[in-house]
Structure 1
Amino acid sequence: MWPHRVRLAAGALSLAFLVTCSAPERHPRVARQARPVLHTAALRPVVVLRSAWHADEGAVRDKPVYDTGVRAVFIHHTDNPNDYDCTKDVPVMLRAMEQTHIAQGWDDIGYNFVVDKCGDVYEGRAGGIDRAVQGAHTEGFNIGTVGIAALGHFGAGQPVPQPMLRAIARIAAWKLAPGIDPLGKVRLVSSNDRSRYRRGTAVRLNAISGHRDVYETDCPGDALYAALPWIRRTAARLRKDATWPAGLAASPRRASRAEG
């Protein structure tokens, strides 16, 4: 009987050795590196709210419409004379603009934001500056976009003030959805036949475009249109500066005059 027991023990030992040697090798799990986070709050400019420029809320004809996000920004100019005083004249100009846009059937001022030559940013259409309010600024392409209007006329030969350009770039950097590249293109679909594109037509456009890119107009003027590449680069740089490693506590730093 002993030889039999010895054979069983030897067999068990061999089996144990086989199981031990065949067990999968355990490697420590490599932790995934978290993606950096764009802190849009750090890009938020100082905005003069509607209550400060005394918008006529009683004249607004309909409630705000909200989109799920902002995929593109359209730049405009208002075609006003450029000799206004930033402190005294702008609120009066905005109230006149609101009345005109309502009379044209747009329910409220059409632009989401208006920027003056001093770089001050004003809330345009009602609904909340931190939300994706659908404007009435770019025929056929209001859905999922933001309209920024430069207060004044910026045709060929008319210099665009740097504070104005910096403020426009900051708004664009702030309002575009985190996944949108200010230097890239986006796919938008025309919502009616009054733009350059028939209803239902899908178009690839710059994430920061001029009004004339989708509508028969010279807006935002040759000088401001020529500055769009600078605005795109600046918006991209601002977003890069506001992109921090995951887990880093956000302490939004707001610019005093919307220019960073």
Structure 2
Amino acid sequence: MTTIISRATWGAKGWNGTPASVPLSQRTEFFVHYDGGAHITRTGYAIMRAIEAEHLGNGWSGVGYNFVVDQAGNAYEGRGWNLQGAHCPGHNVTGLAVQIAIGGDQKPSAKALATARALYEDACKKTGRTLAKKGHRDGYATACPGAQLYVWVKAGMPAGDYVPAPNPGGSLPSDGSELSRAQATISGLVYGYGAKGDHVTKVGQALVKKGFGKHYTSGPGPTWTDADTKNYQDYQESLGYSGAAADGVPGETSLKKLLGTLPGKVSAKPVPPFPGAAKFGPGKNNASITLLGQQLVRKGYGRHYSSGPGPKWSDADRKNVRAFQLAHASLEGDADGIPGPQTWKLLFS
């Protein structure tokens, strides 16, 4: 089974309206896409975040493809196996979609083709049928997936004996169905896949302390990932839970036993006064920048820091602020990475 980098690992935003669920029994087609006219030179998580920003800008729920494959051979979860896509009108229910992240006349790498082919094989196994191999243009009038990929699709998607690249992000193998993606709200705080906050970090730290941290490769951190789910599942099984009761999603009883008490949602503190935009940007050095960075980390938007927030403005500050702005519809039109009064208010609320 192909290793797939989960949405939580590459840093996906929450769904802008969760896509409809589609039984695998309804899938009959496998569509291949490309990015468009321009060559794609980068690999890694940045590709997914760029696609997500574009697709959210289209008014979609999030990334429209079921999976994306980069030139390094990494596979990323978009809609996964069980959610309706947004990639080819008239075929979003019957068709699973994989985008290979190239553009124009760019040549797909052997690694990318091998991973895409592996996903196709996985899809056939999961649906119990041989899916029709198609390029985007077979379902809709478009140049996608470009000349080179379309020839590859029509040739039967050959990929030699290449073994797909391992997951560099440290997440568990995930096809969206093996691990629970459910959430639970306890005392006003959300737990489970995709949940964010200090309380998520505390659960992870408690799991590690009790010896249930083997699935972490980095962290624990403020975003609930598949690794958190798997570690919590191990913890539940140690308590004697099994089956659906050991799904890796906290319940009140197990969480209280883990933490010693059920944490309550902390009452909101007054928003500190906005110090003014002049305090932020290249060359600035002051306590307001430290305060900003610390709050970004608390909110789960600190991934660009390599050594923690500090008083000297850096490009990591700008990128983290911009990520926060893009995650809030009221701020997306001015996502320049410099906090204004509204960004400040939302960040500290």
SS of structure 2 residue aligned to 1:227: helix
Q: Structure 1 residues 228, 56: CA separation in 2 closer, same or farther (over 3 Å shift)?
A: same
d(CA) in 1 for partners of 2:37, 2:2: 24
Question: How much does 1:233 deviate?
Answer: 5.2
1:154–1:224 CA contact under 8 A, matched in 2: no
d(CA) in 2 for partners of 1:77, 1:95: 16
SS of structure 2 residue aligned to 1:62: coil
Match of residue 65 from structure 2: 111
Q: Structure 1 residues 105, 145: CA separation in 2 closer, same or farther (over 3 Å shift)?
A: same
Computing the radius of gyration from Cα coordinates, the structure with the larger value is 1
Residue 147, structure 1, aligned to residue 97, structure 2: yes
1:76–1:148 CA contact under 8 A, matched in 2: yes
- The structure richer in strand per residue is 1
Tell me the alpha carbon deviations over residues 150-182 of structure 1, each in whole angstroms, 9 at most, x when there is no partner.
Answer: 112143xx3221111111111011113544225
Match of residue 87 from structure 2: 137
Residue 172, structure 1, aligned to residue 97, structure 2: no
Normalised to the residue count of structure 1, the TM-score between the two structures is 0.57
d(CA) in 1 for partners of 2:113, 2:73: 8
SS of structure 2 residue aligned to 1:109: coil
Residue 92, structure 1, aligned to residue 27, structure 2: no
1:211–1:220 CA contact under 8 A, matched in 2: yes
Q: In the alignment, residue 65 of structure 2 is paired with which amino acid?
A: Y
Match of residue 3 from structure 1: none
Residue 181, structure 1, aligned to residue 130, structure 2: yes
SS of structure 2 residue aligned to 1:114: strand
2:19–2:61 CA contact under 8 A, matched in 1: no
Q: Structure 1 residues 172, 154: CA separation in 2 closer, same or farther (over 3 Å shift)?
A: farther
Match of residue 15 from structure 1: none
Tell me the alpha carbon deviations over residues 104-133 of structure 1, each in whole angstroms, 9 at most, x when there is no partner.
Answer: 1221110010000111101112xxx4x422
SS of structure 1 residue aligned to 2:130: coil
In structure 1, list runs of 5 or more residues that go unmatched.
1-43, 183-206, 239-253
Q: In the alignment, residue 115 of structure 2 is paired with which amino acid?
A: A
Tell me the alpha carbon deviations over residues 28-58 of structure 1, each in whole angstroms, 9 at most, x when there is no partner.
Answer: xxxxxxxxxxxxxxxx21111111111111x
d(CA) in 2 for partners of 1:154, 1:56: 28
Count of matched residue positions in the alignment of Structure 1 and Structure 2: 164
Q: In the alignment, residue 107 of structure 2 is paired with which amino acid?
A: P
Residue 61, structure 1, aligned to residue 29, structure 2: no
1:68–1:144 CA contact under 8 A, matched in 2: no
In structure 2, list runs of 5 or more residues that go unmatched.
168-349
* Higher mean displacement: 77-86 or 142-151: 77-86
Query: Which structure has more RCO (C-alpha within 8 Å, separation ≥ 6)?
Result: 1
RMSD, aligned CA:
2.6
d(CA) in 2 for partners of 1:49, 1:231: 28
Q: Which residue among 62, 75, 78 is the counterpart of 1:124?
A: 78
Percent identity for Structure 1 against Structure 2? 27
Q: In the alignment, residue 135 of structure 1 is paired with which amino acid?
A: G
- The structure richer in helix per residue is 2
